[in-house]
Structure 1
Amino acid sequence: MKLFKCALLGGAMLLPSAAFADELNLICSADVVICEKLVSEFEASHSDIDVNMVRLSSGEAFAKVRAEARNPQTDLWWGGTGDPHLQAGQDGLSAEYKSPMLDELQDWAKGQAEVSNYHTVGVYSGALGWGYNIDLFKEKGIEAPKCWADLLDPALKGEIQIADPNSSGTAYTTLATLVQLMGEDEAFDFLKKMHANVSQYTKSGSAPVKAAARGETGLGIVFQHDAVAQAVAGFPVGVVAPCEGTGYEIGSMSLIEGAQNPEAAKTFYDWVLTAEVQNMMPDAGSFQIPSNASATPPKEAPDLSTIKLIDYDFAEYGSAERRKALLSRWDDEVGSMPLQ
């Protein structure tokens, strides 16, 4: 119900002068331009709801939701990799919600809802890979890596950036992908060897390829659509899908348990799953595959049917126990190593 501010003048009640809008407290775990596009379009079509948005990486968003469990300050969490969303559901931090839009979604988006007992849902998808600076590699005489194994090439010393998997869903997906491709011990051996070529572990998952686009580093391990976004923006970025195979994300959305504004959250939740809204995303530089089956994938988006994708186990690697164990091991064996 909309409340109104009223004023008294000389004992007479004046007509309502302004409306108190409903609020929506939103965490957005995508690029800030995409987040701002969603907020502006939603507020334009829902003038009775004011959105308070904060942009956080997936790991940061999960940490915030967990820290506020007893007194939630967030109503809805949109975007970011599905693993922490699945963990939030498992930990009782997100609420069960079956959107009336479910029947319009791709099977993989509905599958994300089903595996979480409807505590989250898929909103987009994209494959893992990397983007590299074509001009910088040519200048330095470095051959562009085509496979995960190529990232250990000594010629790439100091040329690789990847995010920290504690803060970044992109980096956690990389960690989980390598474990599934190679086996856990072999994956950590690979990461420790690749560490010699890493110049920085960033907070944001998309930051490495933005640095590569600007020539601040040679290569960023990211979701391929983030590399495509830089190429579309005019930067000399080449996009690679690793030859051995690669993981992928199901970007997800969760309604927070105990939300202060659940009805406003559900309104946004249903709205953002429509084909009309998802078709607007390329205007904000978003080149993921949309979850609504009637939405049109951006022509620049990587074609997942041409990429060798692993059978990524979202249930296992989105579980609290598995995720915590992998992050702890990464901290002990990789994150503790000094950068050279």
Structure 2
Amino acid sequence: MKRKVLLGLSCFCLALVLGCGQQAANPSAEGGAQDTPEKTLVLAAYGGSYEKKMKEAIIPKFEQQFGVKVQYITGSSVDTLSKLQAQKDRPQIDVAFLDDGPKAQAKSFGLLAPLDESIVTNLAHVYDIAKDKDNIGVGFGVIATGLAYNKDVFEQNGWEPLKSWNDLADPKFKGKLVLPSIANTYGVHLLLMTAFANGGSERNIEPGFAKMKEIAENAVTFDKTADVSNYFLQGQTVASAWGSSRVFTLQDTGFPIEFVIPQEGAPALMATVNVVKNAPHAELAQQFVNFILSEEVQVEFAHSLFDGPVNKNVKLEGDITKKLIYGEEQMAKLVKVDWEYVNQKRAEWTERANKEIEVAR
């Protein structure tokens, strides 16, 4: 009898312990407090210096301000576009950073949502060149594709600084140029601007192909990586078509490279921020876009990554203003590429360029 009583008491105490433990683990149980689960915004964006700066200085401020967590998925624009296509029926990404070319593709595929101007209030302060006509995504950083040249080499040879896209066809540069391949955005820009400089356009590309055949006579190779810094450093090229942010990054190391917006203008290479259609946290995604367009964050991008601010209210001072696209005067010199049309023709142009321009180089 005594054994039965002791066994019963032991079972009762064990039940109490287990019950208390279960209640502690499950606050929603009777008598416990209900915790609100923390939201997680999923951001797909660039790697390298962009990822470093976002994680160090930008994302923590957003997390603190909105009481959320941000999950960062690293990838190029092409990588991110592929993910968006794969997840179309059940999106897992809330916000996507895309270059303007892939962004135009994402829009045409119906992968992106319009911006809500009642939430993205900073959109009212953005330069027109950074806006989408349907408010699907918005540019948050402006880079120009222009001409870069080695200042020391030019001075040693008594050469005038580059002024026109057509200058690349000068015979004095034979065997001294590494140019971007049409496989990357810089190469597409070069083809477009040689067309513009010779009476053509996106829809009349023939003058571009004609001039590029001349320019190709000076080329050692056509680079597919979009990074010609090593070619400059090793003396394999004295000039090229390249992005302003990359030029100024190399210049910051002490290398004597200069950047020029040619007299015919320079195409804008826009980094865009976009809300994914049917995003799991759509309103939070809209708030993130507004945050990226804020003056504080725009200044951060300018100083850290040489991205030209798209918010008209941003004020910059000192040397930084010479190292990026800044202000209405410089914005007015930029050419906005019609990516909806260019993307339709890109495969055709790429095949032609490979056969007629870049062949055997």
Q: Indicate the TM-score class for this superposition, using the shorter chain for normalisation.
A: 0.7 to 0.9
Q: Which residue number corresponds to residue 232 of structure 1? A: 252
Partner of 1:233, secondary structure, is coil
Match of 1:43 among 52, 59, 78: 59
**2:221 is the counterpart of 1:185:** no
- Cα distance in 1 for partners of 2:70, 2:232 equals 36
Q: State the Cα distance separating 1:331 from its structure 2 match.
A: 1.8
Q: State the Cα distance separating 1:95 from its structure 2 match.
A: 1.0
The AA in structure 2 aligned to 1:335 is N
Q: State the Cα distance separating 1:214 from its structure 2 match.
A: 5.9
CA-atom RMSD, angstroms? 3.5
Q: Deviations over 1:210-238 (max 9, x none)?
A: 64256453333122233123223322111
CA contact 1:224–1:241 (8 Å) conserved in 2: no
Q: Which residue number corresponds to residue 160 of structure 1? A: 177
Q: Deviations over 1:134-156 (max 9, x none)?
A: 34556678765332111123443
TM-score by length of 1: 0.77
Q: Deviations over 1:126-182 (max 9, x none)?
A: 33212223345566787653321111234434443444444x334333333333443
Match of 2:335 among 312, 318, 328: 312
* Unaligned ranges ≥5, structure 2: 1-16, 28-34
Match of 1:222 among 216, 232, 242: 242
CA contact 1:247–1:309 (8 Å) conserved in 2: no
- Cα distance in 2 for partners of 1:264, 1:323 equals 31
Q: Which residue number corresponds to residue 175 of structure 1? A: 191
Match of 2:127 among 88, 100, 107: 107
Q: Deviations over 1:81-131 (max 9, x none)?
A: x3432332233121112243245423325x623x1x121112122332122
Match of 2:228 among 201, 205, 208: 208
Q: Which residue number corresponds to residue 45 of structure 2? A: 28
The AA in structure 2 aligned to 1:97 is L
Q: Which residue number corresponds to residue 133 of structure 1? A: 150
- Cα distance in 2 for partners of 1:73, 1:160 equals 44
The AA in structure 2 aligned to 1:201 is D
Relative to structure 1, is the Cα distance of residues 178 and 94 closer, same or farther in structure 2, using a 3 angstrom cutoff?
Answer: farther
- Cα distance in 2 for partners of 1:216, 1:264 equals 48
Partner of 1:248, secondary structure, is strand
- Cα distance in 2 for partners of 1:63, 1:175 equals 26
- Cα distance in 1 for partners of 2:140, 2:260 equals 23
Identical-residue share of aligned pairs (%) = 19
CA contact 2:42–2:93 (8 Å) conserved in 1: yes
Relative to structure 1, is the Cα distance of residues 331 and 249 closer, same or farther in structure 2, using a 3 angstrom cutoff?
Answer: closer
Relative to structure 1, is the Cα distance of residues 173 and 94 closer, same or farther in structure 2, using a 3 angstrom cutoff?
Answer: farther
- Cα distance in 1 for partners of 2:26, 2:149 equals 58
Q: Which residue number corresponds to residue 5 of structure 1? A: none
- Cα distance in 1 for partners of 2:86, 2:215 equals 33
Q: Deviations over 1:38-58 (max 9, x none)?
A: 2332332205313223131x4
- Cα distance in 2 for partners of 1:54, 1:277 equals 20
Q: Which residue number corresponds to residue 75 of structure 1? A: 94
Q: State the Cα distance separating 1:278 from its structure 2 match.
A: 0.9
The AA in structure 2 aligned to 1:208 is V
- Cα distance in 2 for partners of 1:157, 1:23 equals 54
CA contact 2:182–2:350 (8 Å) conserved in 1: no
- Cα distance in 1 for partners of 2:197, 2:91 equals 38
Q: State the Cα distance separating 1:243 from its structure 2 match.
A: 2.8
Partner of 1:279, secondary structure, is helix
**2:307 is the counterpart of 1:288:** yes
CA contact 1:22–1:49 (8 Å) conserved in 2: yes
Q: State the Cα distance separating 1:203 from its structure 2 match.
A: 3.0
- Cα distance in 1 for partners of 2:86, 2:210 equals 33
Q: State the Cα distance separating 1:187 from its structure 2 match.
A: 0.4
Q: Deviations over 1:237-290 (max 9, x none)?
A: 111222333322343221122334434433321211110111112342x22321
Relative to structure 1, is the Cα distance of residues 181 and 142 closer, same or farther in structure 2, using a 3 angstrom cutoff?
Answer: closer
Q: State the Cα distance separating 1:16 from its structure 2 match.
A: 8.8
Q: State the Cα distance separating 1:200 from its structure 2 match.
A: 3.1
* Unaligned ranges ≥5, structure 1: 1-8
CA contact 1:132–1:213 (8 Å) conserved in 2: no
Q: Which residue number corresponds to residue 7 of structure 2? A: none
Match of 2:106 among 71, 75, 88: 88
Relative to structure 1, is the Cα distance of residues 155 and 68 closer, same or farther in structure 2, using a 3 angstrom cutoff?
Answer: farther
Structure number with greater Rg is: 2
